[in-house]
Chains A and B, each alone.
Chain A
Amino acid sequence: SQTIHQWPATLVQPVGSPLSLECTVEGTSNPNLYWYRQAAGRGLQLLFYSVGIGQISSEVPQNLSASRPQDRQFILSSKKLLLSDSGFYLCAWSVGGGTDTQYFGPGTRLTVL
């Protein structure tokens, strides 16, 4: 069966510090991968998605970036965090090749102080 991991689970970072969040998927090949952010009391905002290694589509211009160095690994990064980057970051995967159900990882709760 497929599983999706995210780490860390929680993170407290000062403004201006760098960020690296990691997501890995097991049990499937060539998945579509997604990064979402959910601000407190808000809906899910799609940040990036990837249909393959090195292929990243950005939905929202901001100070975040994403990379997919391996088939089942998706990384979200920032060089300098802003207060507004605080939120619940969720990685999701779906079967590649079209629109299909997305399955979410446990998320990383980021607080920028």
Chain B
Amino acid sequence: RKEVEQDPGPFNVPEGATVAFNCTYSNSASQSFFWYRQDCRKEPKLLMSVYSSGNEDGRFTAQLNRASQYISLLIRDSKLSDSATYLCARGYGQNFVFGPGTRLSVLP
């Protein structure tokens, strides 16, 4: 089993929709979790950190379920500009492991 797994998508949703991604991890000792956004041919940029049960920032909500070993990202009222690949990552010590990413396309 891979350390961090994500559904690669693509998720094609209409503008204004709510969309959710899950990310599962296998290392129960993981200390911290992150969601990054990566636009085509660009570097990943931090979207949210998830240190406890969850975090919310505007239209974005991240939740952590340690018992089931997954984190989720919910995007409400999707915008065209939300189209990107969303990477989740888990950290333990200096060790960071990224998932392969989930591609989101928001359609007009």
Contacts and interface: CB of A to CB of B under 8 A. Distances in A.
Q: Do A and B come from one complex?
A: yes
Interface of A: 32, 34, 36, 42-44, 46, 49, 51, 57, 88, 90, 98-107, 109
Interface residues of B, number: 23
Interface of A is mostly: strand
A51 B94 contact: yes
Nearest to B46: A101
Given A43-B87, A43-B100, A44-B98, A99 B43 contact: no
Q: Which of B49, B93, B98, B100 has the most CB of A within 10 A?
A: B98
Given A42-B100, A99-B32, A107 B43 contact: yes
Contacts of B41: 88, 109
Contact of B101 (A43, A46, A100, A101): A43
Given A43-B87, A43-B100, A99-B31, A49 B43 contact: no
B26 to A, nearest CB: 15
Contacts, number: 49
A96 to B, nearest CB: 9
A62 to B, nearest CB: 18
Contacts of A88: 41
Contact of B93 (A90, A99, A107, A109): A99
Q: Which of B94, B95, B99 has the most CB of A within 10 A?
A: B94
Interface in B27-44: 31-32, 34, 41-44
A57 B95 CA distance: 11
A104 B96 contact: no
A109 B41 CA distance: 9
